[in-house]
Amino acid sequence: MKTFLKVENLYKTFNPGAHTEVKAVTDINFELAAGEIVLIMGPSGSGKTTFLTMIGGLLTPSSGKISFDGEEISQYSQKKRTLWRRKNAGFIFQSFNLLSNLSAFENILIGGFGLKRRKERAELLLEKMMLSDRANTQPDNLSGGERQRVAIARALMNDPKIIMADEPTANLDKKIGHEVMNLLCSIGCKEGKGVIIVSHDERIKDIANRVIYIEDGKLIREEIGLHNKVCRMKKH
Amino acid sequence: MTREKGRLLITAGGVAFSVILILVLLGLYFGWQTQMTRFLGNVDTDFWVGQKGSRDMSHTVSIISAETQPQLEKLEGVSKVTPFIGRQVSFDISGKEAHFFLIGMDQDKIIKPYKIVEGRETPKDGEIIIDQTFAKTENLSIGDELTLNNIKMKISSISSGGNLLVYSYAFTNLSDAKKILDSKDFVNYYLVKTNNKEAAKKAIQENFPKTGIMEKQEFLENNTKIITETFLPIIGVLTIIAISIGIAVIGLTIFTATVEKSREFGVLKAMGYKGFELYLIALFQSVFSGFTGFTAGLIITPFVIKAADSFTSAFIYEIDSPKIFLVFIAVLIMSAVASLIPLKRIISIDPAEVFKA
């Protein structure tokens, strides 16, 4: 598997030098290959989300390097990072973060930038997420699982190389959480995208190729190639 | 916001109010401007010749000797001279003081009311034509009598286009006007028709250095100055207030919506939307609200005018399509300015915040 994301000696310190200084991320090294699903685990406030937002180009590291396809994106300007995100990154949030006044279909549609066949692509993703009959429904009238599937479809709209999910199953019950996990697994396994999931949910270990543990901003442990049940099942 | 009916209703309502205010003010202004020139514009003359220093009929009194007429008629370039007698008259109607601007009509009807809406075109001796606004205000109709300077005059006709807010025009024949206004030996102006404008002007200036000579258009403009100089600045200020109300209503609603939807804007930023693209959303919402408000205002304004017209006869309204289009452009500008209010907020939204649960 080809590595396309490389993180080297990554640091993030909030309010440096002040008495409120917080070292959120300290010296993390990390790699992600196409089709790989990585689960980031750790206690609350350990720096998982900070790490994810830096990889996603939403937060500038204090030091260290983040390279994507050989290019150092951590040195990009704000504008260049915005353009990089719209082309290469898809985000899935804990609280879904769908636009409340838009229908399921429109929420997916807004994820497509400059695509020639935006509508066709959004319809295809709706179908893939088994949401065709909910296309015109607004988020408030969708179930938690449906909302998260809309969010996943939105993240996939621009066919990004990397999907970043922050606690994607936290607001879902066991059954729906399992459905979402299957979907994320399929995105990694079948579509060859790199998937990074930040979660406390132990069940996600079942679909991850790798699990890394972060505590006090430091990567303390990494389990490689342990769990891949769902993926394997799907492959067979 | 375009899908939040309550918010859209409030914004569109505010803009509609602003549009109604602007349309009414502009309509009144142009209505009065047209009204002021209706009678004077209808007078067929090349020059108004009056006492030097007299510029209009409202602010200055012009008195010229009646003997001047034959001398004027002899001048080079002059083809016809018509005396103009007109002045404000106060009188009593059922114990209440009333007044109008009485004008003497000549036999050739160079001086005549703008339009006769009821009755005869030409008043006979002892007859008077009054304006319909005056008739309505004083509850007068054809056949009623008025006593002017101890002379009884019978209303023979009702005219329109002669209401000038501070007074209205009334017409008698020239001999009655002379009697009522007690002006046997003088007139107020001479209306001079020419066959050679330049020659006539030069001859009048040379032979009558104590007279002032004004071209018809100049005299018209002098008489509308009361509107342009008095009302225009007031209308300008009120229009600015109306536009400010529109900007404030749209701007504050869009700003509130932006604050409420900060998280959603943050999501869009995280997804890769540029600040400018997010601003376009605010601009679209703003323009949509403005357009909806403009349409509502345009629909409601005629009803407001009708209501106001039944309340006061001084409500003279006139607006045409190009001016309505200008108001539409003003609403678009208003919307664009309003959309700038939440701009700073949109730019400062941190997309990383959306990761906070």
Give the pLDDT confidence of A151-195 residue by residue, as tens digits: 999 999 988 999 999 988 887 788 888 888 888 888 887 888 899
The 3-state DSSP class for residue B121 equals coil
- Widest distance between CA atoms in chain A: 56
Say whether pLDDT at A81 is over 60: yes
Contact B112, B140 (CB under 8 A): no
**Interface contact B288, partner A, CB < 8 A:** no
* Segments in B160-316 forming alpha helices (H): 174-181, 197-207, 216-225, 232-260, 262-271, 275-311
Average pLDDT over residues B326-346: 89
Q: Which of A52, A76, A88, A100 would you mutate first to test chain B, the one with the most B CBs within 10 A? A: A100
Average pLDDT of chain A?
87
Average pLDDT over residues A134-150: 92
Give the pLDDT confidence of B80-96 residue by residue, as tens digits: 999 999 999 999 998 89
Of B18, B60, B26, whose CA–CA distance to B232 is shortest? B26
Query: Residue B3's closest chain A neighbor by CA?
Result: A101
Q: Rounded to two decimals, what is the model's pTM? A: 0.73
What percent of chain A shows pLDDT beyond 70?
A: 94
Q: Are the Cβ atoms of B264 and A97 closer than 8 angstroms?
A: yes
DSSP annotation string for A25-36: EEEEEEEEETT-
Q: Which of A85, A152, A196 would you mutate first to test chain B, the one with the most B CBs within 10 A? A: A85
DSSP annotation string for A43-66: -TTSSHHHHHHHHTTSS--SEEEE
Of the given ranges (A50-54, A115-119, B138-142, B334-338), which has the lowest mean pLDDT? A115-119
**Interface contact B329, partner A, CB < 8 A:** no
Say whether pLDDT at A232 is over 70: no
Euclidean distance between CA atoms B123 and B100, whole angstroms: 17
First to last CA, chain A: 19
Give the pLDDT confidence of B94-104 residue by residue, as tens digits: 889 999 999 99
Tokens (6 digits) for B36: 């002021």
pLDDT band for position A103 (50/70/90)?
A: very high
Contact A25, A197 (CB under 8 A): no
DSSP annotation string for B18-72: HHHHHHHHHHHHHHHHHHHHHHHHHS--SEEEEETT---TTT----EETTHHHHH
Q: How many CB atoms lie within 10 A of CB B53?
A: 11
**What is the predicted ipTM?**
0.86
Q: % helix / strand / coil in chain B, to the nearest 5? A: 55, 20, 25
* Segments in B101-231 forming alpha helices (H): 132-138, 174-181, 197-207, 216-225
**Angle, to 10 degrees, between the axis of helix B232-260 and the axis of helix B321-339?**
40
Name the burial class of residue A77, with classes exposed (0-12), middle (13-18) and buried (19+) by CB atoms within 10 angstroms of its CB. Answer: exposed
Q: Which of B1, B270, B356 lies closest to A91 in CB terms? A: B270
Give the pLDDT confidence score for residue A1 in this predicted structure. 65
Say whether pLDDT at A235 is over 50: no
